[in-house]
Structure 1
C-alpha cells in the first residue's frame, strides 16, 4: 500500500478510489457475502454537453491531473455515465469549435481530449438527432438527454442547464459528483473492512494461524485493495472478542507478529470508523441533492 503524501505527510494507508470497483467485482462473485456486507452505491447519470465541455477545459488547464472528479468517480464504479450519441455530434460539430474560439484552446487539443474522455461513456446510438416535441418547454437539442434519462430510469442528468427540469428531467451539477467522489474514496476503506469483518467470522483458528504466518509473503503478491482488506481482516480479528481469544491461544507460535502490528491495527480501527462515517455522510449529501432537484 502507498502512503498518502498529499495530506500533511499522513501515515494513513492510501487507497485509490478505483479500489471500490475491485471490491464491487469481488462481491458480485460472492453474492452471499454481498447480502451481509451490503451493496455498494452506484448512480446512473446522463451527461450533457456543457458539463463535458467544462471537464475538457479543466483537463486542458491541469495537464498533470490524473483524473477529473467525474473520471475518478466513474473509475470507482460509483457512477455510471451515459449519453445519447447526439452528445458526440454536439461536441464535435458545435461545442468544441465554440469552446476553442472562446477560450483560445487549440481545437485539435480539445478533440484529442474528447476522444479519450468519451471512452468512459456508455453510449445510446439510437438517439442521434435532437428531435421535436409539441410540449417542449426548452431547447429541443436537450430532448435526446431527456429521452435517455427516461428510457434508462436514470438518477439524473448531469448538466448546468436549469431548463432540464422544465422539460421533465432531473438535473444535478458537479456538487453531486463531488459528493459521490467523497463517498467512493471513503467507501474504498469501509467496504474493505466490512468484507474483512465478515470473512473472519468464518475462519477456523488454524486458518487464522496460517494466515498470520503467511502474511508477509501474501502482502507482496496482492493488489492494493486486497492488501488493505487483509490488513482490515487482521484488525477485526484483534478487536473481535471471540476472534481475539482464539488468536491469543496461538500467540506463542505467532511470535512478535501481532505485537508488532498492534499499534497499526488500533489506528486502523479508528480509521475504519472515520471512513465509514465519512462514506455515510457523503452519500446522505448526494441523496439530498438528488431529491432536492425537481423533475
Structure 2
C-alpha cells in the first residue's frame, strides 16, 4: 500500500517562510524562494475572472494566476489603465451573461489587491495603424520595468515587447507549492537543531568517539534520526544524565528507536527530495521561458 503523502505546507505559507530565508533572515544560508516580476495584460486576467464568477463551484477556488499572486511568488504589475479596461470588460460580460457586475467585480478584487499599478498614461490613438492603442500602456510599462508581459495578445511582441503566455502561471504555481514544502522542512530541521554551542560541541565529540566507528553504512535518514533523538536527550535533564552515564547502552538501545524514526521520517525525507528536485526543475523552466519570451 502506498504511503499517504504528508501535507507539509501550502503555497499560502510562502510569504512567512520567505521572510525566514530572505537575505537578512535567520535561515538565509539554508535556502531561498524565487519571485517572478510580471506585467499583466487584461486578457490574462479576464478569462480567470469569468471562470471564477460563472463556472467555479467553490467560492474559495483559485486559478493558477490567483494562487501565484496570493503566495507572492509572482510580483504583479500593470499600468493604471488596466483598471479602466477591466471595468469596461466587466460591464460587457454582465450584459452578455445577464449576471450582476458585482459578481465579476468581487472576483476582480481578489486579483487587484495583489497587483502594483503604475501610471504610464492611457491608450495612444496616434500610433501606427497596425498597433492596438490599448496595448500601448503595457508596452510603455514593459519598457520602463523590463518585465515580461503576461498576455495572449500577439501584438505585444509585434510592437517590440517581450510577452509570455498566461499558461506559465500554472508552472509558477507548481513551483510555489513545491518551494513551500522545501522551505518548511528545512526550517523545521534547522530550528529543531538550534541548541547551545557547548551542547553541539559535546554532541560532535560523541559522534566521533561512539557512533562513527560503528556506523559506516548508516543511511542518511538514520543520521537525521540520531541527531533528533540525541538532541532531545541533551535538552531533557533525565535523558542528558542517561546519555552521559550510559552512552554505550544508548548506542545499543537506539536501534529500535531508529526503526520508529525511520517509519516517521522517511515520508518527510522522500517528500523533501521530491519537492527540492521539482522546484529546481520548474524554476529553471520558468526562468528559461521568461528570458526567451
Please report how far the alpha carbon of residue 207 of structure 1 lies from its aligned counterpart in structure 2 after TM superposition: 7.0
Q: Does 1:19 align with 2:13?
A: yes
Please report how far the alpha carbon of residue 15 of structure 1 lies from its aligned counterpart in structure 2 after TM superposition: 1.8
Residue 182 (structure 1) aligns with: 174
Distance (whole Å) between structure 2 residues aligned to residue 54 and residue 41 of structure 1: 26
Residue 286 (structure 1) aligns with: 286
Equivalent positions of 1:54-65 (< 5 A) are: 54-60=47-53, 61-64=55-58, 65=60
Residue 184 (structure 2) aligns with: 192
Cα 1:14/1:239, change in 2 over 3 Å: same
Residue 150 (structure 1) aligns with: 143
Q: Classify the secondary structure of the residue corresponding to 1:37.
A: coil
Distance (whole Å) between structure 2 residues aligned to residue 45 and residue 159 of structure 1: 10
Q: Classify the secondary structure of the residue corresponding to 2:131.
A: coil
Distance (whole Å) between structure 2 residues aligned to residue 206 and residue 67 of structure 1: 49
Q: TM-score, normalised by structure 1?
A: 0.73
Please report how far the alpha carbon of residue 45 of structure 1 lies from its aligned counterpart in structure 2 after TM superposition: 0.9
Residue 269 (structure 1) aligns with: 269
Contact persistence 1:138–1:164 (CA under 8 A): no
Instruction: Give 1 or 2 for the bigger CA radius of gyration.
Output: 2
Cα 1:136/1:170, change in 2 over 3 Å: farther
Contact persistence 2:152–2:165 (CA under 8 A): yes
Equivalent positions of 1:252-263 (< 5 A) are: 253=239, 260-263=260-263
Q: Does 1:122 align with 2:116?
A: yes
Query: Which of 167, 178, 189 does residue 159 from structure 2 map onto?
Result: 167
Query: Which of 4, 12, 26 does residue 10 from structure 1 map onto?
Result: 4
Query: Which of 68, 71, 79 does residue 73 from structure 1 map onto?
Result: 68
Aligned length: 255
Cα 1:265/1:192, change in 2 over 3 Å: same
Cα 1:106/1:10, change in 2 over 3 Å: farther
- Which runs of 5 or more structure 2 residues have no equivalent in the other structure? 201-219, 241-253
Deviates more, 1:254-263 or 1:276-285: 254-263
Distance (whole Å) between structure 2 residues aligned to residue 247 and residue 108 of structure 1: 56
Contact persistence 2:69–2:75 (CA under 8 A): yes
- Which runs of 5 or more structure 1 residues have no equivalent in the other structure? 1-7, 209-235
CA RMSD of aligned residues (A): 3.4
Residue 93 (structure 2) aligns with: 99
Q: Does 1:139 align with 2:132?
A: yes
Please report how far the alpha carbon of residue 58 of structure 1 lies from its aligned counterpart in structure 2 after TM superposition: 1.5
Write out per-residue CA displacement over residues 215-252 of structure 1, whole angstroms, 9 at most, x where no aligned residue.
xxxxxxxxxxxxxxxxxxxxx99634983695497598
Distance (whole Å) between structure 2 residues aligned to residue 133 and residue 158 of structure 1: 24
Q: Classify the secondary structure of the residue corresponding to 1:160.
A: coil
Cα 1:260/1:101, change in 2 over 3 Å: same
Q: Classify the secondary structure of the residue corresponding to 1:83.
A: strand
